[in-house]
């Protein structure tokens, strides 16, 4: 079960809904293709959020901003 949900909504609307329903957010990112990508801390929160936003879900591939920061390992954690 994925923690990522792509939604046709602004980050502000998403944050409001998550606060109202006590969903814990890890990250919210506006998408270049429109809408937003939200990552929940708990997959159960993501599933409940999908049900709540079922009419605003984005199907298919989305275009993310080139400036998003992918999770990077610190140099000390790399295997040698």
pLDDT at 56 over 60: yes
68 assigned to some structural domain: no
Is residue 72, in this structure, part of any structural domain at all?
no
What is the predicted pLDDT for the residue at 13? 93
Residue 66 lies in a domain: no
Q: What is the mean pLDDT of the chain?
A: 85
Q: Which two tokens stand for residue 6?
A: 């792509």
Q: Is 25 left (phi over 0), alpha (psi -120 to 50) or beta?
A: beta
Joined tokens for residue 49: 């959020």
> Would 43 be classed as within a structural domain?
yes
Question: pLDDT grade, residue 34 (50/70/90)?
Answer: confident
The better pLDDT of the pair 67, 59 is held by 59
16 inside domain? yes
- Examine residue 80 and state whether it is found in any structural domain, yes or no: no
pLDDT of residue 74: 54
Residue 70 inside a domain? The answer is no
Q: How far is CA 47 from CA 21, 55, 59, in A?
A: 13, 14, 15
Note down the domain range covering 19.
4-59
- pLDDT (tens digit, 9 = 90+) per residue, 65-78? 776 555 555 555 55
Provide the number of structural domains found in the chain: 1
């Amino acid at each position: 079960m994925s923690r990522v949900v792509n939604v046709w909504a602004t980050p502000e609307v998403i944050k409001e809904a998550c606060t109202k329903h006590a969903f814990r957010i890890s990250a919210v990112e506006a998408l270049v293709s429109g809408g937003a990508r939200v990552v929940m801390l708990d997959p159960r929160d993501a599933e409940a959020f999908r049900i709540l936003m079922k009419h605003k879900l984005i199907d298919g591939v989305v275009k993310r901003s080139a400036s998003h920061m992918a999770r990077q390992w610190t140099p000390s954690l790399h295997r040698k």
